[in-house]
């Protein structure tokens, strides 16, 4: 595999919603059973420090089983084995009016001359954070009004 093999995609979150991103997952299959994986970076933590800015990895480490379903936890990236020191819990919470690019450069330490990798079913999961309800605001406003006394 070439050192310039990578996948990038961009997610645009409008100002009309607030989202917590929870995970990035993919089904991974590699023809060589050595380190052959994609580091996961984003514009939230940057790309400058290769080890420090790594959110996690999708793919094979040494002697991984064939056909993996890999998950990078975005809700709490501290549980990711390959997480860098610059990535902390909460990085992907309460996102609104923002554009995030994920960048996945592929690493290949296999010696196979024709190593092939399949990355299928790439899925980004998240949850929409509901806006405070109008009813709750109205209830607060009504309960804060002066209540007339019986003598008035």
- Domains in the chain and their CATH numbers? 6-143 (2.60.120)
Residues of the chain with pLDDT under 50: 1-2, 135-152
pLDDT confidence of residue 20:
95
pLDDT confidence of residue 96:
94
pLDDT confidence of residue 103:
92
Pairing assessment for the beta strands 36-42 and 98-108 based on DSSP bridges: antiparallel
Q: Could you count the other beta carbons within 10 Å of the beta carbon of residue 59?
A: 23
pLDDT confidence of residue 120:
82
Rounded CA gap, 4 and 105, in Å? 7
pLDDT confidence of residue 126:
95
Q: What is the pTM of this model?
A: 0.76
Rounded CA gap, 92 and 10, in Å? 14
Rounded CA gap, 129 and 22, in Å? 12
pLDDT confidence of residue 74:
95
Are the CB atoms for 38 and 118 separated by under 8 Å?
no
Rounded CA gap, 22 and 91, in Å? 10
């Amino acid at each position: 595999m070439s050192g310039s093999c990578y996948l990038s995609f961009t997610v645009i979150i409008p100002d009309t919603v607030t989202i917590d991103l929870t995970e990035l997952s993919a089904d991974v299959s590699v023809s060589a059973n050595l380190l052959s994986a994609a580091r996961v970076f984003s514009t939230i933590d940057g790309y400058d420090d290769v080890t420090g800015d790594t959110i996690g990895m999708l793919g094979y480490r040494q002697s991984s089983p064939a056909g993996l379903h890999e998950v990078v936890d975005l809700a709490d990236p501290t549980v990711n084995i390959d997480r860098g020191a610059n990535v902390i819990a909460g990085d992907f919470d309460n996102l609104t009016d923002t554009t995030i690019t994920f960048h996945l450069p592929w690493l290949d330490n296999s010696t196979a001359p024709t190593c092939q990798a399949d990355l299928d079913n790439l899925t980004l999961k998240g949850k929409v954070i509901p806006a405070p309800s109008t009813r709750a605001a109205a209830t607060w406003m009504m309960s804060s009004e002066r209540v007339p006394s019986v003598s008035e």
